[in-house]
Amino acid sequence: MSSTKNDKKGTQSRKSQGRKSAEKKRIAVIPGDGIGKEVIAQAVKVIQAASANVELTEFDWGADRYLRDGTTVPADGFAMLARDFDAILVGAFGDPRVKTNIHAKEILLGMRFKMDLYANVRPVRLLDAALCPLKGIEPKDVDFVVLRENTEGVYTDAGGVFKQGTPDEIATQEDINTRKGVERIIRYAFQYCEEHSKLDGSPRKTVLMCDKSNAMTHAGGLWQRTFKEVSVGYPRITAQHMYVDALCMQMVRDPRQFDVIATNNMFGDIITDLAAGLQGGLGMAASGNIHPGRTSMFEPVHGSAPPIAGKNVANPFGAILTVAMMLRHLEFEKEADKIEAAVLAAVREKKTTQDIGGTLGTKEAGEWVASRVR
């Protein structure tokens, strides 16, 4: 999405960004497991059809590699990605042959944590009214973004089990929140609101912080204080707050009220799946894992879906829209626009997989979009 800033400094910045987009960008591709391999293959076709000035390098990290030689991530894997690549395109992880899912945890969460990709950016956009289960909702009514803190919370796996397997078993799971982590995702949300417009070109005006501070008083208190302090520096933007349960209700009651939502790791995980339902399901949802100025990672929201893997039925549009998001991040604006327009055309013309009303397979839907882009 394009910036809404019109000042001289912003104009100069965009001009320099335009020059940067002419440079070849290196993209690491990690298809992963299950349907990840299928949808990423189609996303790669679309990148190539868009003729962006990029170089793609594929890595075999995933269940097959782990079962073959025990490797989840090579010793210098994350350092290599950060050093040698401009962006990372990831599929999905999870394979029933790996009962502990250790490879998924070490690759995906490891990438987020060890590369400090603290902002999980999930746009929620409805391309066609037919995809939304709510009555009377038009595409312009569902156009918001959820910014999820990506490196803290319960996903740090802090805690433990005592007297496991006995009637006295105790399990604790700690929710880690730091001032640094909370402040930077909230500040990112306000900056995102300032710098990005809606699809119709109108400015974004509101940042809503979501928590459960009435029950989680310690963590919630930190989020509340930080949100109030940071919001003072952005007087043009309206700062709002909702408890997560109220937000879930309002999201399905009237999604038109949202612009930018900032929240913690767990709540962000939950509400973005709910939000995906407003845009046609997880198969339509894209996301980016961002650290400004560093190599960032992009992935479709859906999982590896083992039951449908290899059947040519998975929806590739989430992966394709993720590619558009990644190219826009790399400042290939025209290429991103072409991809998004092609997906919109596919949805309107029913050139889609069955989950969103079409009759095509994964490969055929991807090829249709690629041909449209080309």
Active-site residue, selected from the candidate residues 33, 95, 259, 269: 269
Which residue has tokens 């940042």? Answer: 207
Active site residue 33: no
Q: Is residue 268 within 8 Å of residue 275, measured between CB atoms?
A: no
Which residue has tokens 């009637």? Answer: 167
Helix (H, G, I), strand (E, B) or coil at 30: strand
Active site residue 60: no
Angle 204-206-209 (CA atoms, 0-180°, nearest 5)? 135
Which residue has tokens 């990644």? Answer: 326
Active-site residue, selected from the candidate residues 60, 157, 245, 254: 245
Active-site residue, selected from the candidate residues 128, 273, 337, 355: 273
Per the document, the length of the chain is 374
- Please report the DSSP string for 183-221 in residue order: HHHHHHHHHHHHH-B-TTSPBP-EEEEEE-TTTSHHHHH
Helix (H, G, I), strand (E, B) or coil at 133: coil
Active site residue 273: yes
Active-site residue, selected from the candidate residues 66, 118, 155, 192: 155
Give the pair of three-digit tokens for residue 251: 């999201």
Active-site residue, selected from the candidate residues 25, 37, 45, 212: 212
Active site residue 84: no
Active site residue 212: yes
* Residue 100 neighbours by CB under 8 Å, 6+ apart: none
Q: Where are the alpha helices (DSSP H) in the chain?
A: 8-20, 35-50, 63-69, 77-84, 102-104, 110-114, 179-195, 217-231, 244-253, 265-278, 317-329, 333-348, 362-373
* Positions marked catalytic: 155, 212, 245, 269, 273
